Amino acid sequence: IDVRTPNEYAQGHLANALSIDIYANDFKSRVSKLDKTKPVFVYCKAGSRSGSAVDIMEDLGFKEIYDLKGGIISWQQAKKPIVKKSGEASL
């Protein structure tokens, strides 16, 4: 789950990431519809928002949550691929 804004998501995101903006009024509602028994991977730009999202998701009953430390910034610094809005992966 990419918890950044839709604009940030459009600039590049991890493959197959679901965009759910943590600042959106319906964040809890949208996240609560996900399967709480399946592992969930959460990230943001640098790690702060995803940490907040993890806290919310734990309160909602999610069992297995992984937070990308350092966010998408650290992902890109490690030369891992991201997907642009066009659907093409880039480094």
Look up the pTM and report it: 0.90
CB 82 within 8 A of CB 12: yes
Report, as an integer, the average pLDDT of 25-48: 97
In this prediction, residue 88 carries a pLDDT of 47
CB 32 within 8 A of CB 60: yes
CB 38 within 8 A of CB 21: no
Catalytic residue (one of 3, 22, 42, 44): 44
64 membership: H or E segment, kind and range = none
41 as an active site residue: the answer is no
Other C-beta atoms closer than 10 Å to the C-beta of 9 total 20
Is the pLDDT assigned to residue 24 strictly greater than 70? yes
66 bridge partner residues: 41
pLDDT band at 15, cuts 50/70/90? very high
pLDDT band at 91, cuts 50/70/90? very low
